[in-house]
Amino acid sequence: MSLIYKPNQGYWVRTMTAVFVGVLVLAGAGWTWQQFELVRLPTPTWQLDVVGLQGEPPVAGQGVELLDASGVETLDVATATVESWSPGTRGTGTLVVRGVTLADRDFELVNANTFRAGGATALGTPASEGTVRTARGIPIFEPTYLQAGGAGIVLILGAALIYWLVGVKRKTVEFLIATDGEMKKVNWSTRKEVTGSTIVVVVATFLIAGVLFVIDMVFSYAFASAGVLER
């Protein structure tokens, strides 16, 4: 049993219909890709670029205070737990934290410019502290995967729709076959006829443009002579 209804009839109309709908599906997949760029995935871990490290390097499991010390008063932004520390040179490094708890809904982790580890929540002198240069959330997975998944779903559903329209749904297929039959009845112009008609149209266009130009010049001269228009 054939998977396509009447596969040998209406080939070109069905093919071109599939191509046209396929272009729309591709456009929809591209639009979906762009829209999914705006989705903000959960960021259970954060990467902090640290400079001016003082004290012992942070170790996994330590508590961390994240502060905003840019104003007159130092403000608590969040608390977290050290997941890893990657040292750099001259007191720099990359600190990854998890279990972030914001101190206030008005704050975000990007507001933090100072960290203290090992003495979180003012329990004593911190084992280490430094300046947070940048803070970046690490999503649960790469956003590209989400974009590719969304676009892929659109492509799969679009392909299924095309197959259903031009290959399975009988009413649609019968209409396309009938359209193909009507197209075969059309008396298409020959190459010679199309070329001749095109030449006639081009020549007629230039002639009409020339006549209108001459008429415009005659009227302009007449009105200028009568003093209606300035030369």
My answer on whether 61 and 87 are in the same domain is yes
- Convert the pLDDT of each residue in 75-115 to its tens digit: 889 999 999 999 998 889 999 999 999 988 777 888 889 98
Residue 50 near residue 94 (C-beta atoms within 8 A): yes
Residue 152 lies in a domain: yes
Residue 214 lies in a domain: yes
My answer on whether 91 and 131 are in the same domain is yes
pLDDT for res 227:
73
pTM listed for this prediction: 0.68
My answer on whether 60 and 132 are in the same domain is yes
Residue 121 lies in a domain: yes
Residue 6 lies in a domain: no
Q: Which parts of the chain sit beneath pLDDT 50?
A: 120-123
pLDDT for res 230:
65
My answer on whether 51 and 133 are in the same domain is yes
User: By residue range, what is the domain housing residue 158?
Assistant: 11-37+144-183
My answer on whether 178 and 229 are in the same domain is no
3-state SS of the chain? CCCCCCCCCCHHHHHHHHHHHHHHHHHHHHHHHHHHCCCCCCCCEEEEEEEEEEECCCCCCCEEEEEECCCCCCEEEEEEEEEEEEECCCCCEEEEEEEEEECCCCCCHHHCCEEEECCHHHCCCCCEEEEEEEEEEECCCCHHHHHHHHHHHHHHHHHHHHHHHHHHCHHHHHHHHHHHHHHHCCCCCCHHHHHHHHHHHHHHHHHHHHHHHHHHHHHHHHHHHCCCCCC
pLDDT for res 69:
87
My answer on whether 49 and 132 are in the same domain is yes
My answer on whether 121 and 195 are in the same domain is no
My answer on whether 110 and 173 are in the same domain is no
pLDDT for res 72:
82
Residue 126 lies in a domain: yes
Residue reference for tokens 């259903």: 164
Residue 167 lies in a domain: yes
Residue 5 lies in a domain: no
